[in-house]
Amino acid sequence: MPHIIVENLVKTFQIAQRQPGVWGALRGVMHRNYRQITALDGISFTIEPGELIGYIGPNGAGKSTTVKVLSGILVPDTGRCEILGRVPWKERIAHVAQIGVVFGQRTQLWWDLPVIESFDLLRDIYRVDHHQYAQTRDEMIAILDLESLLDIPVRQLSLGQRMRCDLAAALLHRPSILFLDEPTIGLDVVSKLAVRDFIKRLNQERDVTVILTTHDMDDIEALCTRVMVIGQGQILSDGPLENLRARVTTERRLIVDLEEIEDITDPDASVVLRDGHRVHLTFDPDRIATADLIARITAQHPVRDLFVENTPIEEIISRLYAENH
Amino acid sequence: MPKITNRTSSFAIRSYIAVLSARFRTLLQYRAAAFAGFGTQLFWGLIRVMIFEAFYRSSTAPQPMTADEVITYIWLGQAFLVLIPYQGADPDVRAMVRSGNVVYELVRPTNLYFFWYSRAIAQRTAPGVFRALPMFITASLFFNLQMPPSFSATCAWLVSMLFAVLISAAITNLLSISLLWTISGEGLGVLLGSLTWLFSGIIIPLLFFPDWAQTAINILPFRYLMDIPFRFYLGHISPEQIWYHLPFQIAYLIALITAGHLILTRGIRRLVAQGG
């Protein structure tokens, strides 16, 4: 049975529009114009236990709104949503006891309290059994390397340290589903890798279903078996990363470092970028085999080095958006 | 599947006590504010006592309270000043609504009204710990604060004080909840603030208000925050009268909690995702 079933979810917001200037402010007192914004425009998907899903899309596409509906914070206008057999906003309390949520730009830790006290407080708020709590807490401290942070008030932690603590905090009650809303935002490379590594372990060793929204395509490539792309409130694409790539473009890139600065012309490949000794070519592997192309070019030009790349995922995504506008 | 079957079926109240005590402990850390508050309240108390002494010396008409009673009443007001919700909503909730961190409050497996109500109780009691007791001792040693006339008066006072705390926290919570509508919440805060200020008895004991104002005073819940408990303390209302006043306090409490609950439920539904 799927963990999460979403069918035709629609959510609109009313936003009061204000006219600029003093006159506009005065008129706003008497009469308000409302603008309707459709954040979710009929979204459907199902998620099986143990999946690790990347949920991506530009700012304002509806990612956070989806996460907020799934975590029982927002009530959608129409549509069906069932998580572990419950409708989130109808049985909010029972539902949230089974999920963990991390919003990357916020913290759920108590600002003035040492980290460990926040953990203890969450134990009581979630009414976790003391023995189970001690076990989970110690595991989290070990995996995320939190030992040295426990006695520090949260306000004194760096962003990366705080995010590690926030991840632990979201898991103390052993949720079976974890929502991560931009968990790597603003983190340095080392912290990013630590967070990524942790998410992967969590998913593989504990079988936690993870839904990850992010703008960082490296997160997606490193972690996700399945990617959902949302744009203007609709799901544009849903499937493994390779499918997405195949759907948008099969193109590959050949990057050649030449011995001398010269031009490459080939009937099956086109030059997209020239940077000193380095030349970037794109080609379609269905029209010409990669090995053949390389053989041809190395026969014609003295080559120092070369390598083949997939089209960067950023480019794929932006093409997908362009197609749908 | 990590099924959470070994969760203990402990009472839900554990969550609320946890947040109350955490908030209480945090608020106790503001010791400088407590000392400053104590100094200010001592100063204002002295001024108010002097004003009433001058008033009693110049007036020959019979007054509703004796001069000694008024002085004790004033010092009680100074001691329990933080009990009344004059500064509006819970500052913690205000900060959360502004920053958007309030979303985390909605993913807790607790009833949000009572979760915030627990915070409000801490907000209304913790700052008083370092003020009420020193004020009591100082005023009874140097400024003629009297003790209650009897044991039963003390009991009646304590019971009505307990409900004063609960009512005050319910008003505080109502103000916190109003933030879901107005974000800043200053409007309602100022309005309710001045009403409590005037009609709780902190400025002038309520019996000194003219007759035409007494009806309004008796209808509003604010007199149960200070005036009624203080008059139980003085023995100005006989202790048996607790059986008359207690049902009113309970009714006001239930009404305020019900109203807050309803408004919160609607407030959550219209909650707009601040910042996407």
User: Last residue of a domain, which of A228, A246, A264?
Assistant: A246
Query: Confidence band (pLDDT; 50, 70, 90) for A28?
Result: low
Query: Confidence band (pLDDT; 50, 70, 90) for B59?
Result: confident
> Computed over its alpha carbons, how large is the radius of gyration of chain A?
24
* B29 contact residues in A (CB cutoff 8 A): 112
With CB atoms and an 8 Å threshold, state whether B101 touches A108: yes
Query: Confidence band (pLDDT; 50, 70, 90) for A18?
Result: low
Its domain, for residue B128, covers: 13-269
pLDDT at B3 > cutoff 50: no
Clarify whether residues A189 and A208 are in a common domain: yes
Alpha-carbon distance of A259 to B24, in angstroms, equals 73
- pLDDT, residue A141, reads 94
Residue B69 inside a domain? The answer is: yes
Chain B: residue nearest A88 by CA?
B107
Name the domain count of chain B: 1
**Over residues B102-115, mean pLDDT:** 90
Alpha-carbon distance of A242 to A317, in angstroms, equals 13
Q: Is A126 part of the contact surface with chain B (CB cutoff 8 Å)?
A: yes
Q: Is A48 part of the contact surface with chain B (CB cutoff 8 Å)?
A: no
The pTM score is 0.84
Q: What is the DSSP string of A227-239?
A: EEEEETTEEEEEE
Residue A26 inside a domain? The answer is: no
Residue A175 inside a domain? The answer is: yes
Q: Which of B3, B26, B103 sits opposite A113 (nearest CB)?
A: B26
Query: Confidence band (pLDDT; 50, 70, 90) for A74?
Result: confident
Does the predicted interface ipTM exceed a cut of 0.95?
no
Per-residue pLDDT tens over the stretch B17-26: 988 998 888 8
**Over residues B193-202, mean pLDDT:** 86
pLDDT at A20 > cutoff 80: no
pLDDT at B178 > cutoff 60: yes
- pLDDT, residue A29, reads 67
Q: Is B184 part of the contact surface with chain A (CB cutoff 8 Å)?
A: no
Residue B239 inside a domain? The answer is: yes
Clarify whether residues A151 and A296 are in a common domain: no
CA distance B81 to chain A (A): 25
pLDDT at B9 > cutoff 80: no
* A99 contact residues in B (CB cutoff 8 A): 107
Q: Which of A96, A105, A117 sits opposite B107 (nearest CB)?
A: A96
Q: Which of A73, A107, A112 sits opposite B26 (nearest CB)?
A: A112
Clarify whether residues A307 and A201 are in a common domain: no
Alpha-carbon distance of A246 to A248, in angstroms, equals 6
- pLDDT, residue A87, reads 93
pLDDT at B276 > cutoff 60: no
Residue A53 inside a domain? The answer is: yes
Q: Is B5 part of the contact surface with chain A (CB cutoff 8 Å)?
A: no
Q: Kindly tell me the burial class for residue B67, based on how many C-beta atoms sit within 10 Å of its own C-beta (0-12, 13-18, 19 or more).
A: middle
End-to-end CA distance of chain A: 35
Its domain, for residue A143, covers: 4-8+43-246
Weakest mean pLDDT among A22-31, A244-253, A265-274, B39-48: A22-31
pLDDT at B43 > cutoff 80: yes
With CB atoms and an 8 Å threshold, state whether A127 touches B22: no
The three-class DSSP label of residue A295 is helix
Q: Is B109 part of the contact surface with chain A (CB cutoff 8 Å)?
A: yes
- A contact test, residue of B14, B20, B101, B104 with most A CBs within 10 A: B104
Weakest mean pLDDT among A107-116, A218-227, B189-198: B189-198
Mean confidence (pLDDT) of chain A:
88
Clarify whether residues A286 and A230 are in a common domain: no
pLDDT at B186 > cutoff 70: no
Residue B181 inside a domain? The answer is: yes
Residue, of A113 and B159, whose pLDDT is higher: B159
Clarify whether residues A93 and A193 are in a common domain: yes
Clarify whether residues A48 and A78 are in a common domain: yes
Nearest CA to B253 out of B169, B181, B136, B191 is that of: B169
With CB atoms and an 8 Å threshold, state whether A99 touches B107: yes
Nearest CA to B171 out of B242, B123, B131 is that of: B123
Residue B276 inside a domain? The answer is: no
**Could you tell me the CATH number of the domain that includes residue A258?**
3.30.70
* A162 contact residues in B (CB cutoff 8 A): none
Contact between residue A77 and residue A11 where contact means Cβ atoms under 8 Å apart? yes
Distances (CA, A) of A113 to A118, A154, A236, B108, B136: 6, 6, 43, 18, 31
- B contact test, residue of A11, A34, A75, A92 with most B CBs within 10 A: A92
**Over residues B82-107, mean pLDDT:** 84
User: Last residue of a domain, which of A223, A246, A269?
Assistant: A246
Alpha-carbon distance of A120 to A126, in angstroms, equals 10
Residue A37 inside a domain? The answer is: no
- pLDDT, residue B226, reads 92
Chain A: residue nearest B12 by CA?
A127
Clarify whether residues A257 and A153 are in a common domain: no
Query: Confidence band (pLDDT; 50, 70, 90) for B228?
Result: very high
* A132 contact residues in B (CB cutoff 8 A): 6-7
Clarify whether residues A132 and A281 are in a common domain: no
- pLDDT, residue B4, reads 42
pLDDT at B229 > cutoff 70: yes
Nearest CA to B118 out of B81, B172, B162 is that of: B172
- pLDDT, residue B1, reads 37
Query: Confidence band (pLDDT; 50, 70, 90) for B194?
Result: confident
Clarify whether residues A125 and A194 are in a common domain: yes
Start-end of H helices in chain A: 21-30, 63-70, 92-96, 115-125, 130-144, 159-171, 189-206, 217-223, 241-248, 290-300, 313-323
**Over residues B212-222, mean pLDDT:** 90
pLDDT at B184 > cutoff 80: no
pLDDT at A33 > cutoff 80: no
Residue B216 inside a domain? The answer is: yes
Chain A: residue nearest B115 by CA?
A125
- pLDDT, residue A253, reads 86
Clarify whether residues A289 and A185 are in a common domain: no
- pLDDT, residue B131, reads 85
With CB atoms and an 8 Å threshold, state whether B99 touches A110: no
- pLDDT, residue B274, reads 44
pLDDT at B181 > cutoff 80: no
Alpha-carbon distance of B155 to A306, in angstroms, equals 90
Per-residue pLDDT tens over the stretch A295-320: 888 888 888 888 888 777 777 777 88
Q: Give A 94-113 residues with CB within 8 A of chain B.
A: 94, 96-99, 101, 103, 105-108, 110, 112-113
- Alpha-carbon dihedral angle through residues A239, A240, A241, A242, given to the nearest 10 degrees: -110
Residue, of B12 and A46, whose pLDDT is higher: A46
Name the domain count of chain A: 2
Clarify whether residues A131 and A119 are in a common domain: yes
**Over residues A254-263, mean pLDDT:** 86
With CB atoms and an 8 Å threshold, state whether A125 touches B8: no
Alpha-carbon distance of B117 to B174, in angstroms, equals 9
Residue A23 inside a domain? The answer is: no
Chain A: residue nearest B6 by CA?
A129
- pLDDT, residue B249, reads 95
Per-residue pLDDT tens over the stretch A102-118: 998 888 998 888 999 99
* B269 contact residues in A (CB cutoff 8 A): 75
Strand partners, A282: A253, A270
pLDDT at A133 > cutoff 90: yes
- A contact test, residue of B94, B107, B112, B119 with most A CBs within 10 A: B107
Weakest mean pLDDT among A15-24, A83-92, A101-110, B206-215: A15-24
Query: φ, ψ for residue B6 (rounded to 5)?
Result: -90, 20
- pLDDT, residue B187, reads 73
- pLDDT, residue B11, reads 62
Q: Give A 150-169 residues with CB within 8 A of chain B.
A: none
With CB atoms and an 8 Å threshold, state whether B14 touches A124: yes
Per-residue pLDDT tens over the stretch B235-257: 989 999 999 999 999 999 999 99
Nearest CA to A275 out of A264, A259, A261 is that of: A261
Residue A21 inside a domain? The answer is: no
- A contact test, residue of B10, B101, B103 with most A CBs within 10 A: B103
- pLDDT, residue B183, reads 60
Instruction: Give percent of chain A above pLDDT 90.
Output: 41
- B contact test, residue of A59, A91, A126, A206 with most B CBs within 10 A: A126
- Cβ pairs bridging A and B (under 8 Å): 100
Residue A108 inside a domain? The answer is: yes
Q: Which of B3, B6, B272 sits opposite A129 (nearest CB)?
A: B6
Q: What is the DSSP string of B36-99?
A: HHHHHHHHHHHHHHHHHHHHHHH--S--SS-HHHHHHHHHHHHHTGGGS-TT-S-HHHHHHHHH
Query: Confidence band (pLDDT; 50, 70, 90) for A123?
Result: very high
Alpha-carbon distance of B138 to B130, in angstroms, equals 13
Residue B67 inside a domain? The answer is: yes
With CB atoms and an 8 Å threshold, state whether A129 touches B4: no
Clarify whether residues A167 and A297 are in a common domain: no
Residue B4 inside a domain? The answer is: no
Residue B6 inside a domain? The answer is: no
- pLDDT, residue B8, reads 41
